[in-house]
């Protein structure tokens, strides 16, 4: 059986990857961010997952204008690190878990969430920065990873409500995997408020972000009612990535225990938010 | 009449919707080509010549040559695609963001350190019109 131990949310700012890769984590500007991830580093050891189900978005890396899947699942044995324009990040190749990934794909499609299946894909900072934040610099990732890219680049992204319900279906599918005993942690990445484009670039909405953090554990239903217009207006044009946090939340048990919360402005252009939840399975 | 969308009221923001995506297809495809080192080299060696490989409009070509990021966005460019271009130039997201806001990179970085651009006064175009 597979068991969902808990979930973790985090921003995936590319500059955080660059700071780690270039040895800048002790500089005061960056240290203020990385200090917020100390708890995650010890928690992940305690949780000792076999698999991370990692919800993120591709940033015009694997998916160009030619092909834009709304929800997709990585079923390959491994996922090479993409060259995003300055050479690939110096991090290990990501190893997948095809047995669980294919099981989830089949279950969720029969549960009426139509996923795109990926057998070959390079992964970008959206996936590798969260892994680096939690595991630090390693020679091999000590965990298998199922990449789950969500379109948030081409408008409209899937709705908050759709994401939450999809998360529920994913949770059910993961729990119904019987081939092996697996400990699974679900990551929901992206956000929090930020805007990278136009004359309103640099927008941060701390009040919105903190309210989101307050609600996602005990009352995620309230967040499923946030419209695209509200996300775009209140959390910036790129803040809408927060819908991916709701996929993570949906996959966890109805009741969760919040074990860590962090919020910091800025990392480059972005409000960094990070939380850890443990499942409260019956 | 072009369709008016609810999000068009958000000031200083261009939502990458269907119309913009269709308009920007060739511009964004050019940017995507810069993911390959050999294409970056070819572009750097002869920018104008390289751009002729793509079915871009004259406005899109000029916006690229001038590195006018807001103009590129107006012509259908998407920030994650445009990133390939400013990365090729050796610049960061914060550089591009500062350029788009018309601030110096130093002033922009200071604004971010002070908590970012506040939401108050930046929700609706009417708020920008009224501030004189």
Chain A residues whose CB is inside 8 A of the B93 CB are 14-15, 196, 268-269
Q: Helix, strand, or coil here: B79? A: helix
Q: Per-residue pLDDT tens for A183-219? A: 999 999 999 999 999 999 999 999 999 999 999 999 9
Looking at CA atoms only, how far is residue A188 from chain B in angstroms? 20
A274 among known catalytic residues: no
Q: What does the pLDDT average to over A68-83?
A: 97
pLDDT for B132 equals 54
Whether B111 sits inside 8 A of A61 (CB atoms) is: no
ipTM: 0.94
Looking at CA atoms only, how far is residue B84 from chain A in angstroms? 6
In a domain, B80, yes or no: yes
A12 among known catalytic residues: no
Total number of domains constituting chain B: 1
Domains annotated on chain A, with CATH: 2-279 (3.40.830.10)
Find the CATH number of the domain harbouring B57: 1.10.700.10
Chain B residues whose CB is inside 8 A of the A202 CB are 97, 101, 108, 111-112, 116-117
Mind giving me the DSSP string for A86-106? S-B-SSPPEE--HHHHHHHHH
Q: Is the predicted pLDDT of residue B71 greater than 90, yes or no?
A: yes
Q: Is the predicted pLDDT of residue A282 greater than 70, yes or no?
A: no
Q: Which of B7, B97, B119 faces A269 most closely, judged by CB atoms?
A: B97
Q: Cα–Cα–Cα angle for B63, B64, B69, nearest 5°?
A: 70
Where does the pLDDT of residue B102 fall: very low under 50, low under 70, confident under 90, or very high at 90 and above?
A: very high
Collect all residues with Cβ–Cβ distance below 8 Å to B85 and sequence separation of at least 6: B31, B34, B64, B67
Where does the pLDDT of residue B130 fall: very low under 50, low under 70, confident under 90, or very high at 90 and above?
A: confident
In a domain, B4, yes or no: no
What is the average pLDDT score of chain A?
97
Whether A204 sits inside 8 A of B113 (CB atoms) is: no
Count the alpha carbons within 13 Å of A268 in the hemisphere toward its beta carbon. 21
In a domain, B7, yes or no: no
Peptide bond into A230 cis (omega under 30): no
Burial of B25 (0-12, 13-18, 19+ CB in 10 A): middle
Catalytic entry in A125, A228, A264, A274: A125
Q: Helix, strand, or coil here: A146? A: strand
Nearest alpha carbon to residue B95 among B110, B106, B84, B81: B106
Beta bridge partners of A94: A79
Catalytic entry in A59, A97, A103, A194: A194
Q: Per-residue pLDDT tens for A225-260? A: 999 999 999 999 999 999 999 999 999 999 999 999
Which domain, by its residues, includes B40? 14-130
Can you read off the two tokens belonging to residue B108? 């922009």
In a domain, B104, yes or no: yes
Chain B residues whose CB is inside 8 A of the A83 CB are 35-37
Q: Per-residue pLDDT tens for A82-96? A: 988 778 999 999 999
Nearest alpha carbon to residue A270 among A137, A142, A65, A125: A125
In a domain, B53, yes or no: yes
Burial of A206 (0-12, 13-18, 19+ CB in 10 A): middle
In a domain, B5, yes or no: no
Where does the pLDDT of residue B1 fall: very low under 50, low under 70, confident under 90, or very high at 90 and above?
A: low
Where does the pLDDT of residue B3 fall: very low under 50, low under 70, confident under 90, or very high at 90 and above?
A: confident
> For a pLDDT cut of 70, what percent of chain A falls above it?
100
Asked whether A121 and A28 are in contact (CB, 8 A), the reply is no
């Amino acid at each position: 059986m597979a068991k969902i131990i808990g979930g973790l949310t985090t921003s995936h700012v590319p500059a955080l990857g660059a700071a780690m890769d270039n040895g800048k984590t002790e500089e005061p500007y960056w240290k203020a961010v990385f200090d917020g991830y100390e708890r995650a580093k010890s928690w992940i050891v305690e949780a000792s997952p076999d698999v991370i189900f990692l919800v993120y978005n591709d940033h015009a890396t694997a998916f160009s204008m030619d092909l834009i899947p709304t929800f997709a699942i990585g079923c390959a044995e491994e996922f090479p690190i993409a060259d995003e324009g300055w050479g690939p990040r110096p991090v290990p190749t990501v190893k997948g878990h095809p047995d669980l990934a294919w099981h989830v794909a089949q279950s969720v499609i029969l549960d009426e969430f139509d996923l795109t299946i990926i057998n070959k894909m390079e992964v970008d900072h959206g996936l590798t920065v969260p892994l680096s934040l939690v595991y630090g610099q390693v020679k091999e990732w000590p965990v298998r990873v199922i990449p789950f890219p969500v379109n948030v680049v081409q408008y409209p992204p899937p709705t908050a409500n759709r994401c939450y319900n999809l998360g529920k279906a994913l949770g059910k599918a993961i729990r119904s995997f019987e081939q092996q005993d697996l400990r699974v942690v679900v990551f929901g990445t992206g956000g929090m408020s930020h805007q990278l484009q136009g004359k309103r670039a640099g927008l941060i909405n701390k009040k919105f972000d903190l309210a989101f953090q307050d609600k996602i554990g005990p009352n995620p239903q309230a967040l499923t009612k946030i419209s695209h217009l509200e996300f775009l207006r209140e959390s910036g044009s790129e803040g809408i990535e927060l819908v991916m946090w709701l996929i993570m939340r949906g996959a966890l048990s109805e009741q969760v225990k919040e074990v860590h919360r962090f919020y910091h402005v800025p990392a480059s252009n972005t409000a960094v938010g990070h939380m850890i939840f443990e499942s409260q399975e019956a | 009449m072009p369709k008016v969308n609810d999000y068009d009221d958000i000031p200083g923001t261009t939502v990458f919707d269907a119309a913009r995506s269709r308009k920007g297809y060739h511009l964004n495809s050019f940017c995507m080509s810069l993911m390959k080192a050999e294409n970056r080299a070819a572009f750097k060696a002869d920018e104008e010549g390289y751009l002729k490989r793509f079915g871009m409009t004259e406005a899109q070509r000029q916006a690229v040559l001038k590195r006018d990021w807001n103009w590129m966005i107006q012509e259908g460019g998407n920030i994650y695609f445009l990133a390939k271009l400013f990365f090729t130039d050796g610049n960061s997201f914060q550089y591009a963001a500062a350029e788009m806001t018309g601030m110096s990179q130093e002033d922009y970085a200071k604004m971010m350190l002070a908590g970012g651009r506040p939401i108050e006064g930046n929700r609706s175009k009417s708020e920008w019109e009224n501030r004189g």
